[in-house]
Amino acid sequence: MNIINIITIVIALATCFFGYKLNKILISLFGLIIGFNLGVTYLPNLLTDQTIIYIISTIIAIAVGIISYKLYLIGVFLLCTLTAFILSGNLNLSENLQIIVSVVIGIVAGILGVKFTRPIMIISTSLAGASALIENLLTLFNFQNNTVEIILFIIITILGIMYQFKQNDENSHS
């Protein structure tokens, strides 16, 4: 048993079934990841010392994480924008058209994410949690079957979405 898989499974379960309740923490974590990735991606163009790059990237990560937490809707916008931008990168268009289309799709997704934060956060955390859960469970048990993987992914995603909507509906009536 791999301890990393087990930890990831626990986090994936929490994300899938409690993602909306944990959304500020998740947004902050995404902010940290985005900030660090920005640093390690672009700082090597300016600096050569790897240690300095990692130190500055960590500072950028902390700053973006704090900003994402404090300015929650900006974090939601960035999360939705970047996710849609990355996902739309597989459209196989010419390079310039690909960038334009991906930016437009990203911005539209960001705006929709801010406008419909609750349902989008519930759906996206359920999808992300179910995906990580299935991938790590199958890896942990050394099992590979695409059909089973797809079926489990759909079932767990639907359960996560239903549970989160039910919990949030109950909490809003209390």
Secondary structure (DSSP) of 32-77? HHHHHHHHHHHGGGT---HHHHHHHHHHHHHHHHHHHHHTHHHHHH
Angle 135-150-134 (CA atoms, 0-180°, nearest 5)?
20
Looking at the predicted structure, is the pLDDT value of residue 162 above 80?
A: yes
pLDDT higher than 70, residue 168: no
pLDDT value at residue 99: 83
Residue 56 has what pLDDT? 96
Structurally, how many domains does the chain consist of? 1
Are the C-beta atoms of residues 70 and 31 closer than 8 Å to each other?
no
Residue 90 lies in a domain: yes
Whether the pLDDT of residue 173 is over 60: the answer is no
**pLDDT, tens only, 46-81:** 999 999 999 999 999 999 989 888 888 887 787 778
Tell me if 172 is assigned to some domain. no
Task: Give, for 113, the enclosing helix (H) or strand (E).
Answer: helix 95-115
The pTM of the full predicted model, rounded to 2 decimals, is 0.63
Residue 123 lies in a domain: yes
Domain-embedded: residue 97: yes
pLDDT value of position 151: 93
Distance from chain centroid for Cα 40: 19
Helix (H, G, I), strand (E, B) or coil at 91: coil
Range of the domain at 163: 3-167
- Model confidence at 172, pLDDT cuts 50, 70, 90, reads low
Q: Give residue-wise pLDDT tens across range 7-36.
A: 888 988 998 999 888 888 877 887 888 899
- Closest by CA to 129, choosing from 5, 14, 4, is 14
Residues 6 or more apart in contact with residue 105 via CB below 8 angstroms: 84, 85, 88
Mean pLDDT of the residues in the chain: 86
